[in-house]
Each structure stands twice: as C-alpha cells, then as structure tokens.
Amino acid sequence: HAMDRKVGEVLLYYCYCEVKDPEKLCAWQKALCQHLHLTGKVRVASEGINGTVGGSKVATNLYIEVMLSQPLFKDILCQDDFKSSAGGAHCFPDLRVGVFKEIVPMGIDPKIVSYKETGIHLSPQEFHREVEQYLSQGSQGQGDTILLDCRNFYESKIGHFQGCLAPDIRKFSYFPSYIDENLELFKDKRVLMYCTGGIRCERGSAYLRSKAVCREVYQLKGGIHKYLEEFPDGFYRGKLFVFDDRYAICSNEDIVSACRYCGTLWDQYKLCSSQHCRQLVLTCPSCRNKGLTACCPVCQEKELKVTSRASGQTLKEECECTRRRPRVPIERLLQRMLNAGKD
C-alpha cells in the first residue's frame, strides 16, 4: 500500500455550467475514466459536473488536460480548480458516473436556489486573514462574524477551523433546515463559510443569501483543500475528512477528536463492524482489541450473530440504529440537556 500511495493521486473538482445534454456528458465522462483506468465518483447534472477520481499520476494529469480542453468547461474550469492529494485508484472501490438533479445534494431545486447567487469568494490568503481577525476578537461579546463549517458533524468532528460553528447535521441536505431553524443566529452577521473543496459553499451560501438576513456572506474558494496547501499549519486543526477509502488526509499532527468508548484522543474512522451498518466509528486500538468495534450496542450484538461477510459484497442495508438515529447526533443533545440543567 505504501508504494501505491506514492505512485498516484486523487483529484477533487467541480464545475458549475450549463449542460444541455447531461446523458451525453455522462457517457463521455464514463468512457474517459475507463480509458484512463480511473476509479471514483462523478455526478453530472444540467447545472454542471462534480467529481473525485483516483489513478496514476500520468492518468490524473491526462484527465485534467482533457477536462480543460472539453468545450463545455473550456472557459470556466482551470488547472487550479483541481485539488489533488496522494492516493490512487485503490482509494475507491469502483467507478460510478451518473446523472443527478444536483451536482451536490442539498435537496433544493437548482432553479429555486442557484449557484449563480453565491457568496463572495475569498482566496486562502484572504480567508486566513479574515479568520485571524475573527479569532483575535476573542470572546468579546457577540462578534459580528460567524465562521461556519458547512460539512457534516462526522467531518468537522475530526478537523475544523478554530472557533467555528459546526452544524450537527448528518447530510448536506439537512443544511437548509439548519439555516431555517437558526436564522436568528445569522441576523446582521458577516458569515465566513467553508467546506472540503468549495462546492457545498456554492449552494450553501446561495441558500443563506436567499434568506436575506446576513450582512455579508463569504466563502473559502477551493475549500479546506486549497487552504491547507497554503497554510498546512494554519487555523485549520486536525484532519481533513475525504469521501473515499482513506477517510482523512493529514496536514498537521493535531488530533481534535476522541475515541467514543474511552475518550482517549483518536481521529481515525473505521466502518462499524456490523456488516449492515454504514456508520463511521472512532474507536482507538485498545478499545478495538477489547472488541469494541461497533457504533452502538445494537450493532455490537448484531455483529456477533452474523458470520463471515459474503464474498466482497458490501450491503447498503441500514441497521435499526441508523433509522432511529436523529438528524442531530445524540451526544450533542445530551450535552445540551446537561447544559440546560446547569442554568
């Protein structure tokens, strides 16, 4: 595996543009990836394309070249729009290219909230300066700025900007209701928002702006990915969660999260050991050795009953605990109830 990692890379990119024939673009994209032996996930829609692919350096370089010369993206996409990290084809189980309604699943019709209404894009340097200023204000009363993480709780849990507000959401499609439920919070504020590669901010900032309560909405261009290239030891602490078999990439040595069983510092996710469950679990080596490998007691029980997994088949079926799992993670709810009890 160590050899593999040096050899190839994983690319992350998106491009918002008008796509007249998504099916055709999808077929072309699929053929291109197959030809270059790339694995990964690509979403195509009438509003553009969003992808993350892995392969050899030669293949990913060729891929970028072809993408930049594709007439559809010619004047919109540029070299800098591709974020790269060490990896390869082994980071994804297969290649999936499909046509969807949205290139990032916010669950709101692109015709209603369009990427064309986005916030003001800040370069990593500009964003860094803004965060620096925001942090220097300390906790003097209610500052006029909010640093908003647009990602899911399991992403922000293992890495985030210092002093950020991280919504307790399990999916980006819960982001709009999070905004709706917390509108008061954003009233007359300058909002600095960020996500992994910038794409969620494109729609998230448009949604927030459509509410017309903020003074100003800014977003980090290129996301945490580009920020870490410039500031590996900046205000982003911990790991960067990625949606492939690596789970996270590392830019500094900080560990900002804990083992769910014993509370020791730990930030390496593994899938819950119950084969029906798709939850990610933070459980440290010593707890794993004790057999604590599941996301919850239900799954731990279930796992003991289930014998060896069918040949390489991963089942997407969810366990009961997933269906019962609230939009907001239960630990936070408990914490809130405890805090409320203290007042």
Residues 174 and 85 in one domain: no
Q: Domain span at residue 280?
A: 258-305+316-321
pLDDT, tens digit, for every residue of 189-233? 999 999 999 999 999 999 999 999 999 999 999 999 999 999 999
State how far the alpha carbon of 98 is from the alpha carbons of 19, 26, 114, in Å. 14, 6, 21
pLDDT for the residue numbered 319: 67
Domain count, the chain: 3
Residue 105 pLDDT exceeds 80: yes
The answer to whether residue 246 is domain-embedded is no
Note whether residue 328 is domain-resident.
no
Calculate ∠ Cα 338-342-343, nearest 5°.
Answer: 125
Q: Are residues 153 and 228 in the same domain?
A: yes
Q: Examine the domain organization and report whether 227 and 264 are in the same domain.
A: no
Does residue 167 fall inside a structural domain? Answer: yes
pLDDT per position as a tens digit, 31-41: 999 999 999 99
Please name which of 272, 267, 220, 230 lies closest in space to residue 248, comparing C-alpha atoms. Answer: 267
SS3 99: strand
Model pLDDT, residue 4? 44
Q: pLDDT category, 316, cuts 50, 70, 90?
A: low
Residue 274: what pLDDT?
84
Give pLDDT, residue 150.
97
Residue 127 lies in a domain: yes
Do 151 and 79 share a structural domain? no
| Chain centre distance of CA 284 | 23
* Residue 31's CATH number: 3.30.70.100
Q: Which of 220-234, 285-299, 318-332 has the lowest mean pLDDT?
A: 318-332
Same domain, 265 and 158: no
Is 154 in the same domain as 224?
Answer: yes
32 touches 63 (CB < 8 A)? yes
Residue 107 binned pLDDT confidence (cut-offs 50, 70, 90) = very high
Q: What is the tens place of the pLDDT at every residue in 250-292?
A: 988 999 999 999 999 999 999 998 877 878 999 999 999 999 9
- pLDDT at 314 exceeding the cut of 60: no
176 and 208 fall within a common domain: yes
In a domain, 343, yes or no: no
Where residue 227 sits, what CATH number does that domain have?
A: 3.40.250.10
Q: Is residue 326 scored above 70 in pLDDT?
A: no
The verdict on 137 and 230 lying in the same domain is yes
Q: Are residues 87 and 158 in the same domain?
A: no
Q: Is 284 noted as a catalytic residue in this protein?
A: no
Residue 237 lies in a domain: yes
Report if residue 333 sits inside a domain: no
Sequential DSSP letters for 11-46: EEEEEE---S-HHHHHHHHHHHHHHTT-EEEEEEET
In this prediction, residue 305 has a pLDDT band, given cuts at 50, 70 and 90, of low
Residues 169 and 228 in one domain: yes
Task: List phi, psi (to 5°) of 80.
Answer: -70, -15
Q: Which of 195, 201, 259, 287 is catalytic?
A: 195
Please indicate, yes or no, whether residues 92 and 193 belong to a single structural domain of this protein: no
Domain-located, residue 226: yes
How are beta strands 95-99 and 190-194 bridged, if at all?
A: unpaired
140/234 same-domain check = yes
Distance of alpha carbon 266 from alpha carbon 152, whole angstroms:
18
pLDDT of 336 reads: 66
Q: What is the mean pLDDT of the chain?
A: 89
- pTM across the whole model: 0.87
